[in-house]
């Protein structure tokens, strides 16, 4: 097969969807010795594969053209020129209007934009309105990251269940338990923080619900039980100022809650392993990769009981309603104060995380593509 891939995320900050796409491509490099891959982007990027079966297609006549519009215009022409059998839209979107005989698979990671459109920037809202639902309807097959996302696709877009295949993410082998004291000392030395901290990882978008976590810490502080720091790892973004105002208004000390921004990938296992627990108060997740990474590193997990989170965490963590700061506060005290519970959560978390593998995810992606091409060919006969 000649398989095209939307590689736009690989030329941006390597986080979120970009990390997922990169790992699947790395695994496809290892397991597939037959098919040819064409990766399309408006900017150059590092490709982890060698050989003539992996070909970058990088060009843009207008450097400032938004990536989504590039895919629909310049990218569309490049894709049509390469006589592909299948195109994989890696990040929720397809180029609209390619040849009818081209098989089309789109990975839809979540439905944050239709569910939380008021919190998105105007460009993202416009791009989703123009291309989001149309991509889902045009696809021959949709890959969803979770059963939760699959249900959202059926409920919000009216996509038939038969058109959706659920394929979970994996977790890198680098995410494994480090010696907790050594890890917390490493984090303290490198980032100038306390050795006693809890951790959360993700963007600062409103759906990540960090305000509930801040309110939970205020409950603990007012009870004289805030003896640790909260470290926030991930993109700072335009919402940081709002969160800082909430923190200031609540009267927290400057070192109670610290935003570390992006950190090197090699530091994440140390941050997870050195934490007393990992907290994830998100209102909505398509999957929630940090949850798996935390469990794989032996961090006890407290998270919301919504969207895909119960599916990912299973019975390995404590799940509480995302709008109840008191429930998060009680869960934090319980996990930090009960050594037996901590040990049980760590053991269950390691077992739960072991079920998420990138090689298995890549094999299922490849099998899905092969099935779609075969079905498309049979329809033409």
Give the model confidence (pLDDT) of 73-120 as tens digits.
Answer: 888 889 888 999 999 999 999 988 777 789 999 999 999 888 887 766
φ/ψ (deg, to 5) at 98: -75, 175
**Residue among 192, 17, 237, 326 at smallest CA distance from 9:** 17
- Convert the pLDDT of each residue in 308-337 to its tens digit: 999 999 999 999 999 999 999 999 999 999
Is the pLDDT at 236 greater than 80? The verdict is: no
> Residue 15's pLDDT is what?
65
Could you tell me the residue ranges of all domains in the chain?
A: 2-170+358-380, 180-353
pLDDT band at 253; cut points 50, 70, 90: confident
Could you tell me the pTM of the whole model? 0.93
**Residue among 166, 170, 125, 176 at smallest CA distance from 296:** 176
In which residue are the tokens 């779609």 written? 372
Secondary structure (H, E, C), the chain: CEEEEECHHHHCCCCCHHHHHHHHHHHHHHHCCCCEEEEEECCCCCCCCCCCCEEEEECCCCCCCCHHHHHHHHHHHHHHHCCCCEEEECCCCCCCCCCCCCEEEEEECCCHHHHCHHHCCHHHHHHHHHHHHHHHHHCCEEEECCHHHHHHHHHHHCCCHHHEEECCCCCCCCCCCCCHHHHHHHHHHHHCCCCCEEEEECCCCHHHCHHHHHHHHHHHHHCCCCCCEEEEECCCCCCHHHHHHHHHHCCCCCCCEEEEECCCHHHHHHHHHHCCCEEECCCCCCCCHHHHHHHHCCCCEEEECCCCHHHHHCCCCEEECCCCHHHHHHHHHHHHHCHHHHHHHHHHHHHHHCCCCHHHHHHHHHHHHHHHHHHHHHHHC
The per-residue pLDDT of the chain, averaged, comes to 92
Share of the chain above pLDDT 90, in %: 73
Residues 329/138, Cβ–Cβ less than 8 Å:
no
**What does the alpha-carbon distance between residue 327 and residue 310 come to, in Å, rounded to a whole number?**
16
Rg of the Cα atoms in the chain:
22
Is the pLDDT at 241 greater than 90? The verdict is: no
pLDDT band at 269; cut points 50, 70, 90: very high
> Residue 238's pLDDT is what?
62
pLDDT band at 243; cut points 50, 70, 90: confident
- Looking at residues 170-194, what average pLDDT do you find? 97
Instruction: Provide the Cα torsion 71, 39, 133, 131; round to 10°.
Output: 0
What does each C-alpha distance from 285 to 56, 71, 205, 241, 307 come to in angstroms?
31, 25, 12, 23, 6
In which residue are the tokens 């900050």 written? 13
pLDDT band at 284; cut points 50, 70, 90: very high
Q: Which class is 2-170+358-380 in CATH? A: alpha beta
- Convert the pLDDT of each residue in 34-79 to its tens digit: 999 999 999 999 988 888 999 999 998 887 788 888 998 888 889 8
Q: 86 has which bridge partners?
A: 3, 103
- Looking at residues 147-156, what average pLDDT do you find? 96
> Residue 380's pLDDT is what?
74
Is the pLDDT at 123 greater than 80? The verdict is: no
Q: In angstroms, how far is the first alpha carbon of the chain from the final one?
A: 18
**What does the alpha-carbon distance between residue 214 and residue 212 come to, in Å, rounded to a whole number?**
5
φ/ψ (deg, to 5) at 299: -95, 125
**Are 2-170+358-380 and 180-353 in the same CATH fold?**
yes
Is the pLDDT at 274 greater than 70? The verdict is: yes
Pick the CATH number of 180-353 from 3.40.50.2000, 2.60.120.920, 2.60.120.10, 1.20.120.160: 3.40.50.2000
pLDDT band at 170; cut points 50, 70, 90: very high
> Residue 13's pLDDT is what?
67
> Residue 239's pLDDT is what?
67
């Amino acid at each position: 097969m000649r398989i095209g891939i939307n590689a736009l995320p690989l030329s941006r900050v390597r986080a979120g969807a970009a990390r997922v796409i990169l790992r699947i491509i790395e695994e496809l490099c290892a397991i597939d010795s037959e098919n040819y891959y064409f990766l399309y982007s408006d900017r150059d990027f590092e490709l982890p594969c060698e050989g003539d079966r992996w070909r970058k297609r990088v060009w843009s006549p207008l450097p400032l053209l938004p990536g989504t519009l590039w895919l629909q215009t310049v990218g569309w022409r490049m894709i049509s020129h390469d006589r592909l059998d299948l195109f994989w839209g890696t990040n929720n979107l397809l180029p609209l209007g390619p040849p009818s005989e081209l098989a089309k698979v789109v990975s839809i990671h979540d439905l944050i934009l239709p569910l939380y459109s008021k919190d998105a920037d105007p460009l993202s809202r416009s791009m989703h309105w123009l291309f989001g639902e149309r991509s889902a309807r045009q696809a021959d097959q949709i890959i969803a990251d979770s059963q939760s996302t699959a249900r959202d696709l059926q409920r919000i877009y009216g996509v038939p269940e038969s058109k959706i295949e659920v394929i979970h993410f994996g977790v890198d082998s680098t995410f494994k338990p480090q010696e907790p004291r050594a890890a917390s000392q490493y984090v303290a030395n490198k980032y100038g923080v306390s050795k006693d901290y809890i951790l959360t990882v993700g963007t600062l978008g409103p759906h990540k619900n960090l305000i509930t976590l801040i309110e939970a810490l205020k409950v603990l502080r007012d009870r004289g039980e805030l003896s640790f720091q909260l470290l926030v790892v991930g993109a700072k973004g335009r919402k940081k100022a709002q969160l800082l105002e909430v923190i200031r208004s609540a009267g927290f000390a400057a070192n109670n809650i610290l935003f570390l921004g992006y950190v090197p990938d090699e530091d994440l296992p140390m941050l997870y392993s050195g934490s007393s627990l990992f907290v994830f108060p998100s209102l909505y997740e398509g999957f929630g990769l940090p949850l798996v990474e935390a469990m794989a590193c032996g961090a006890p997990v407290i998270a919301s009981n919504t969207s895909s989170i119960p599916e990912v965490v299973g019975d390995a963590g404590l799940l509480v309603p995302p709008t109840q700061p008191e429930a998060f506060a009680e869960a934090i005290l319980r996990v930090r104060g009960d050594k037996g519970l901590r040990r049980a959560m760590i053991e269950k978390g390691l077992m739960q995380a072991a079920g998420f593998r990138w090689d298995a995810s890549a094999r299922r992606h490849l099998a899905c593509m092969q099935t779609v091409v075969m079905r498309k060919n049979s329809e033409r006969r």
